[in-house]
Amino acid sequence: MFTLKRTHTCGALRASDAGQTVNLNGWVEAVRDQGSVAFLVLRDRYGQTQVVFRKDFDEALLKRAQSLRAEFVVAVRGVVKARAAEAMRKEQPTGEIEVEAKQLEILNEAAVPPFEVSEHVQVSDETRLKYRYLDLRRKPMQRNMITRHKVLAAFRESMDRQGFLDLDTPVLIKNTPGGARNFLVPSRLWEGQFFALAESPQIFKQLFQVAGMDRYFQVCKCFRDEDLRADRQPEFTQFDLEMSFVDESDVQAAVEDAVANVFKKVLGVELKRPFPKMTYAEAMDKYGSDKPDIRFGLHLVDVSELARTSSFRVFSEAVAGGGIVKGLCVPGGGGMSRKEIDDLTTLVKGVGAKGLVWLKGEGGTLGGSSAKNFKPEELAAIREKMGAKDGDILFFVADEKGRCKVALGGLRTHLGAKLKLIKEGTWEPFWVVEFPMFEEGPEGKPQAKHHVFTSPKPEDLDLLEKEPLKVRARAYDLVLNGVELGGGSIRIHRKDVQRRVLAVIGLDESNIREKFGFMLDAFDYGAPPHGGIALGVDRFVMLLLGLDTIRDVIPYPKTQKGQCLMQNAPSGVIQRQLDELHIRLKQPPQETKM
RNA sequence: GGGGGCGUAGCUCAAUUGGCUAGAGCAUCGGAUUGUCGAUCCGAAGGUUGCGGGUUCGACCCCCGUCGCCCUCGCCA
């Protein structure tokens, strides 16, 4: 029986509705039983409304209300009443009214839930994921999902306004080398052959440009069979776009419009545009990260020149060996305990540095256990260079160039959080540009830093074969609050350049033919200059909500080991399915009941 | 594949050096209650201490193995 279909949601009624007869549907949040009067709090996605049952009004109805339990699904018919002044709850949206019940339908009973469906209760991730549908019923998760929707809506609105076409691309695609490990899907029709789940729509969106679609976008699932992190899931969502006849500034302007629209619609925040830019080299030099959090200072300072001639051999030998010495100055950090410093040393070593040298500003010079290794005039020069004052603490790492920056960058990020240097509630998106095309892979072989379709800067083309590691790419990353929101590039649109780049990463002609032949063929038929970008939706929503894991903004996420605890996936299959797929397991199949 | 943290009642946690009947809050169940709103009060029930093995007179605690969750390095163009 379901006759009392709702006339209002549980968040709708106000004092101005007093006197109306209404129907409400929802879940039982609580029954506060006072004996001769009982209050039922009814909940749905839109809010909560209090329903009153009284003995002197309808004793039988009160009895039934008292039998309700948490999470029962009910329908109520009643009259909206303004509450007495002393019963008003101004802090609740529906706090000025209540509904006096006339009829009650129990639409469904509910078992006692494994945890309270409440925003106050703390539950382990494990339990939450197993009963995700109950977790999602909790207010914070409903808020997260609603925000997620708003982000997507604002993004799509901007894309539509700018003339982008929402086109979809296949999920089942060809397995291609490089980049993330693919999930493989065996083919029933083609024995021994496999599809891959798309790790991104990259090639297809570029071919849309060859096809003359001009402006394409998609909110798109991507799949990567790599290990998980708090901000990484095997299945995640990207805002993806690609456009023709453009350079970097056009793509950036298009994305900025979308990102700014999201901030405006979701947070009511107006972002300053255009977003500032920082070169990769500057990001690494000043922050020791390619996605620095610029909401606080603590810049890295290079003291290699002072270190070169230093009497402290850790410094001078590092420079002599081709390394560098950099430091950062923590204003007022002089009170840090030995234990705290030791913990920081452990942290820095964990990122690969050999150690951490520290000095404290005191008595107009620098002190601390390492100070004895320096001459007084060296200490003065370091103090000067670092801009240190009495009461500050200085940290130094002497190491190979890359390791030094990354280690100190890690220390900087850690200190920013630990010392609460971050201005919360501020949003400073910016572009990191001029990435190197390649980085050194295993065995010193160059590999693409972004991806193999990224265009080199024209002025660096000559270096492609001679000094590939010096070639800069027409790539850009969008960084916000220390999180890489996404990245993109202007693509190669000429076959000859594409061939050269593929050759640099070590693909020979037959390999190129086999893996990317169709792409190069397409470029034979008139590929326009084009470029694009992809943003991580889950990370974006996480940032906007101030959360620290994307699991809380993904409706049905996987665990750290990549399982779905609700479905118990992955799971075994029956022999017949394997036979159809022409697959023989090394171990006999673990059959699951189906 | 490596490092770290955790696993005790439905949920979140406690239990001194290995020692008394493994406790608390919330939830649940029963009772009381005519203005509650994270209701309150009284009472009750609730345990394979993840699982398997070992050491010991005695194990939540120590050892070995195993399973699961989380963080992290590698990995993620």
Decide if pLDDT at A18 tops 90.
yes
Preceding omega of A274 cis (within 30 degrees of 0): yes
Are the C-beta atoms of A549 and A260 separated by less than 8 Å? no
Domain total for chain A?
2
C1' of B54 to CA of A251 (Å): 65
- Is the pLDDT reported for residue A587 higher than 70? no
**A1 in a structural domain:** no
Check residue A481 and give left, alpha or beta (phi > 0: left; psi -120 to 50: alpha): left
pLDDT of residue A594: 39
- Domain of A103, CATH number, reads 2.40.50.140
Q: What is the pLDDT of residue A588?
A: 62
CB A78 within 8 A of CB A99: yes
Residue A590 pLDDT greater than 60, yes or no: no
Task: Provide the CA A30 to C1' B26 distance, Å, integer.
Answer: 14
Nucleotide nearest A179, CA–C1', reads B77
Kindly state the average pLDDT of the residues A516-522: 88
Residue A269: inside a domain: no
Average the pLDDT over A534-548 and give the result: 95
A387 φ/ψ angles, rounded to the nearest 5 degrees: 65, 35
pLDDT at A448: 87
CA of A113 to C1' of B70 (A): 23
- Residue A261 has a pLDDT of 98
Nucleotide showing the shortest C1' distance to residue A88 CA: B37
The answer to whether strand B lies under 7 Å from the CB of residue A449 is yes
* Structure tokens belonging to residue A178: 């490089």
Mean pLDDT in chain A? 92
In a domain, A314, yes or no: yes
Query: By mean pLDDT, which of A127-136, A356-365, A581-590 is the weakest?
Result: A581-590
| Residue A589's pLDDT band (cuts 50, 70, 90) | low
Q: Are A358 and A370 in contact (CB under 8 A)?
A: yes
> Alpha-carbon distance A425 to A269, whole Å?
10
- Across the range A441-447, mean pLDDT stands at 76
Q: What CA–CA distance (Å, rounded) separates A476 from A291?
A: 11
Q: Cα-flanking dihedrals φ and ψ of residue A307, to 5°?
A: -70, -30
pLDDT for res A593 = 42
Q: Is the CB of A491 under 7 A from strand B?
A: no
- Taking the C1' atom of every nucleotide in all shown strands and the CA of A201, the nearest one is B77
Per the structure, the residue whose CA is closest to nucleotide B41 at C1' is: A34
Protein-to-nucleotide distance from the CA of A157 to the C1' of B46, whole angstroms:
54
Pairwise CA distance, residues A223 & A196, whole Å: 9
Nearest nucleotide (CA of A55 to C1'): B34
Report the pLDDT averaged over residues A45-60.
Answer: 96
Measure the CA–CA gap between A34 and A443, rounded to whole angstroms. 75
Phi-psi region of A214 (alpha: psi -120 to 50; beta: other; left: phi over 0): left
The answer to whether residue A13 scores a pLDDT higher than 60 is yes
Final residue of a domain: which of A108, A126, A156?
Answer: A108
The nucleotide lying nearest A66 (C-alpha to C1') is: B33
> Does A420 score more than 90 pLDDT?
no
User: What span, in angstroms and rounded, lies between the C-alpha atoms of A42 and A49?
Assistant: 5
In the predicted structure, residue A514 carries a pLDDT above the cut 80: yes
Distance in Å, residue A579 CA to nucleotide B54 C1' = 44
Is strand B in 7 Å reach of the CB of A276? no
Lowest mean pLDDT among A49-63, A79-93, A334-348: A334-348
Q: Considering A388, A418, A448, which residue would you say is the last residue of a domain?
A: A418
Nucleotide closest to A95 measured between CA and C1': B37
**Is A45 a domain residue?**
yes
Q: How far is the CA of A184 from the C1' of B45 (A)?
A: 52
Does the structure show a pLDDT above 90 at A349? Answer: no
Which whole number is the average pLDDT over A514-528?
90
Q: Residue A179, CB, less than 7 Å from strand B?
A: yes
A450: CB within 7 A of chain B nucleic strand? yes
Distance (Å, rounded) from C-alpha A355 to C-alpha A395?
A: 10
Alpha carbon distances (Å) from A111 to A24, A114, A116: 22, 9, 12
Q: Is the ipTM of this complex over 0.85?
A: yes
Last residue of a domain, one of A108, A136, A158: A108
Report the alpha-carbon distance of residue A494 to residue A497 in Å, rounded.
Answer: 6
Question: Phi/psi at A274 (nearest 5 deg)?
Answer: -70, 155
- Structural domain harbouring A332: 296-418
pLDDT of A557 strictly over 90: yes
Query: Is strand B in 7 Å reach of the CB of A120?
Result: yes
Taking only the tens place, the pLDDT of each residue in A235-266 is 999 999 999 999 999 999 999 999 999 999 99
* Cα–Cα distance measured from residue A482 to residue A497, given in angstroms and rounded to the nearest whole number: 34
Is A417 or A468 the better-scoring residue by pLDDT? A468
* DSSP state for residue A196 in the 8-state scheme: E
A81: the nucleotide nearest its CA (via C1') is B35
- Residue A429: is the preceding peptide bond cis (ω within 30°)? no
Average pLDDT of the residues in A285-300 = 91
**Largest Cα–Cα separation, chain A:** 93
Q: How far apart are CA A445 and CA A505, in angstroms?
A: 7
d(CA A88, CA A577): 62
Q: Which of residues 215-274 of A touch strand B (CB under 7 A)?
A: 224, 226-230, 232
For residue A87, say whether its CB is under 7 Å from any atom of strand B.
yes
pLDDT of residue A512: 83
Give percent above pLDDT 90 in chain A. Answer: 74
Within a domain: residue A232? Answer: no
How many Cα atoms sit within 13 Å of A54 on the Cβ side?
7
Residue pLDDT, tens place only, A84-137: 999 999 999 999 999 999 999 999 999 999 999 998 888 989 999 999 999 999
Strand B nucleotides within 7 Å of a protein CB: 1, 10-13, 26-29, 32-40, 68-77
Contact A143, A166 (CB under 8 A): no
**Residue A276 domain-assigned?**
no
Name the nt closest to A202 by C-alpha to C1'.
B77
Question: Which of the residue ranges A85-99, A357-371, A560-574, A580-594 would you say has the lowest mean pLDDT?
Answer: A580-594
Here the CATH number for the domain that contains residue A380 is: 3.30.1360.30
List CB contacts of A34: < 8 A, sequence separation 6 or more.
none
Q: Quick check: A163 pLDDT over 50?
A: yes
Cβ contacts of A577 within 8 Å, gap of 6 or more = none
C-alpha A552/C-alpha A144 separation (Å) is 7
Give the pLDDT mean for A546-569.
93
Residue A568 lies in a domain: no
Q: Who has greater pLDDT, A409 or A14?
A: A14
In-domain check, residue A278: no
Specify the 3-state DSSP secondary structure of A53: strand
> Is strand B less than 7 A from the beta carbon of A549?
yes
